[in-house]
Amino acid sequence: MPTFDPLVFDFGAFDSSFATPVLFRFVVPSEMRKTTPGSAVTIFTYIKNVDTTQGRSFLMNPETSVQIDLYKPDTTALVTLANMVNQATGLYIYQHQLATNAPVGMYGGKVKAVNGDKTVISPIVKLFEVI
């Protein structure tokens, strides 16, 4: 059996696994869901951690910034990998100013969140309509 010197500190190496961020919800305030060219649109997203406690989820801030892509009605990119601003734990916001000649139609977006070695990219969802 090994003996240990009580005057020497031992150390342990621990393998850490990062929680997978889950893009829980996109929110566009109801008054901005149908908007006009030249208007500002605010987009919120909530990020959750579902890995640490089975059956429960908690809002979390990923280690790396949360980024958003926005798409015009013809599906071409309007904004690519713009950083969203952290408002509270797990809550991120992006405000986009539409051009005065913004095309009419439904705009979509997707969010990317990175936490350590885990990357999550949402599918493209409909966010707001320019009328």
Convert the pLDDT of each residue in 16-66 to its tens digit: 467 778 877 888 999 999 999 999 999 999 998 877 667 778 888 898 889
Residue carrying structure tokens 């280690």: 63
The CATH code that applies to domain 21-130 is 2.60.40.1930
- Measured distance CA(112)–CA(68) in Å, rounded: 6
Extract the tokens encoding 77. Answer: 């990119």
- Measured distance CA(93)–CA(102) in Å, rounded: 21
Q: What letters, b where the CB count within 10 A reaches 16 and e where it falls short, cover 34-57?
A: ebeeeeebebebbbbbbbeeeeee
Lowest mean pLDDT of 4-8, 98-102, 103-107, name the range.
Answer: 4-8
Convert the pLDDT of each residue in 67-93 to its tens digit: 999 999 999 999 999 999 999 999 999
pTM of the model: 0.81
